Amino acid sequence: MIDQVQLQQVDECLWEIPKSARADMRVPAYVYALEELLEDLRKDRTLDQLMNVATLPGIQKAAIVMPDGHEGYGFPIGGVAATDVSRGVISPGGIGYDINCGVRLLTSSTRYADVKGKIGELVHELSRMIPKGVGRGGRLVLSTGQMEEVLAGGAEWAVANGYGLNEDLDHIESRGRLEHADPARVSDHAVKRGHDQLGTIGAGNHFVEVDRVEEIYDDETAEAFGLFQGQLVILIHTGSRGLGHQVATDYLKTFLNAMPSYGLHIPDRELACAPFSSEDGQNYFKAMAAAANYAWCNREVISWEVRQSWEYIMKEAGENLRLLYDVAHNIAKIETHRISGKNHRLVVHRKGATRAFGPGSPEIPDDFSKTGQPVLIPGSMGTHSYVLAGTKESMENSFGSTCHGAGRRMSRTAAKKMVDAPTLKRELLANDIAVEAGSYAGLAEEAPVAYKDIDLVVETVHRARLARKVAKLRPVGVIKG
DNA sequence: ATGTCC
């Protein structure tokens, strides 16, 4: 066992690893966590990886990990790293294999109590409508030309082709389309993998969940978000499927080969990177943006499937499901942030971290300009999820970022050994949570015991003011891959 | 996360 990393407490929820902790660190590392969460963060390579991130050329201010952080490929999951656009690098490991994995929330005008008896049917219908599982395709099969439109247009493609509402676009981060996307930078192989996966959730922690609003923490913001006590809402969590995975795989290989020519020295080859302004860096950024657009289109098409199911079971228009917001949590974006009183153009890498822009930010829609943007934090299966709002403090301290979920504390393998899936399913049902799972193995991997305590994670970011609590959601039905 | 090893 290596020596324990020294953490200096800055605040109740903030710990610092000073730049002096390692000769190669260019900036300090910040860990956001209530003390109870530190033990989990020390159990794996999270803090080592965070210090590795602090060595990246062009990194600004600090390498940051959120309270849901855990070990990932190169970078910790739950990590935020901002590099200078002209002097810094871009690293696929800082974004993750599932490019633009993210979450959206649809709100209804229906109370759970009024339709309790229909939840089982609704969950069954959702399960029938929404393809799930590794490698699964869906009902949409796109030509190469249509794929180019999706990669360039993102969620707009779904709306233009009858799979979404125009009003949805106002409530998607970046309106569901990154303009830097270039379909020509996505390999034929990646395009092929994606051609039949729009409208599918995949596997792992991806899901479609029916929830009810259990608790409101801030009446005014909840009202602005269209949330009320007892309301039925639908939470969708998925990403760019095989296409994004292939983009990550392709460019990691390219970067590993190209690294020597850039003269970049990094402590771990999983931090493979290229100067953002280099041809390789730009090609990856344009391909990543295209994969991000695919993911936004995917969540839009899934919303269409949800609305179809809703119409069929609830006998009311699918349009009654309104999109509250859609957030990315695995992405790199060009953003301007103030550091020591000066504006900087940065490549903000968020890997298992959510944008949490505060009130007045020009990048969030007008209807949230007073409250800050909606932030959606799914908990582990069968526990609960949160709706938060972005803050000015997150803009000042974490490049406008917060946590993204409960965060795994046990490996998939360990969870499968420990958990008996049929028992778990019965327990969920006993708690009035209907589950339709693609496989028992997948269900076991996602057992709540394999995750951190979502309440502690959210309490950390709330107390640290990286986002503030608006509402708590309780699941009543879940579809998993 | 991922046609969980071309």
Establish whether the CB of A203 is closer than 7 Å to any nucleic acid atom in strand B.
yes
- The total number of structural domains in chain A stands at 1
Instruction: State pLDDT tens for residues A365-395.
Output: 999 999 999 999 999 988 999 999 999 999 9
Instruction: State pLDDT tens for residues A273-295.
Output: 999 999 999 999 999 999 999 99
A38 occurs within a structural domain: yes
A3 occurs within a structural domain: no
Establish whether the CB of A202 is closer than 7 Å to any nucleic acid atom in strand B.
yes
A217 occurs within a structural domain: yes
Q: Is A206 labeled as ligand-binding?
A: yes
Alpha helices (H) in A339-432, listed in sequence order: 392-397, 412-418, 421-430
- Nucleotide B3 C1' to residue A134 CA (A): 8
Q: Is A208 labeled as ligand-binding?
A: yes
What residues form DSSP beta bridges with A106?
A234, A323
Establish whether the CB of A374 is closer than 7 Å to any nucleic acid atom in strand B.
no
A373 occurs within a structural domain: yes
Q: What is the CATH number of the domain that holds A333?
A: 3.90.1860.10
A1 occurs within a structural domain: no
Mean pLDDT of chain A: 96
A240 occurs within a structural domain: yes
Q: Is A265 labeled as ligand-binding?
A: no
Establish whether the CB of A124 is closer than 7 Å to any nucleic acid atom in strand B.
no
Q: Say whether pLDDT at A305 is over 80.
A: yes
Which whole number is the average pLDDT over A25-42?
97
A52 occurs within a structural domain: yes
Nucleotide with C1' nearest the A412 CA: B4
DSSP-derived 3-state class of residue A304: helix
Per-residue DSSP letter, A93: G
Active-site annotation holds for A404: yes
Alpha-carbon dihedral of residues A255, A261, A265, A268, nearest 10 degrees?
30
A2 occurs within a structural domain: no
Residue span of the structural domain in which A308 resides: 8-480
- Nucleotide B5 C1' to residue A69 CA (A): 29
Query: Rounded CA gap, A138 and A464, in Å?
Result: 42
Which residue's CA is nearest to the C1' of nucleotide B1? Answer: A98
From the list A370, A104, A112, the residue with the least C-alpha distance to A223 is A370
Q: Say whether pLDDT at A329 is over 90.
A: yes
Instruction: State pLDDT tens for residues A75-131.
Output: 999 999 999 999 999 999 999 999 999 999 999 999 999 999 999 999 999 999 999
Establish whether the CB of A237 is closer than 7 Å to any nucleic acid atom in strand B.
no
Nucleotide with C1' nearest the A480 CA: B1
Query: Rounded CA gap, A98 and A116, in Å?
Result: 35
Q: Say whether pLDDT at A1 is over 90.
A: no
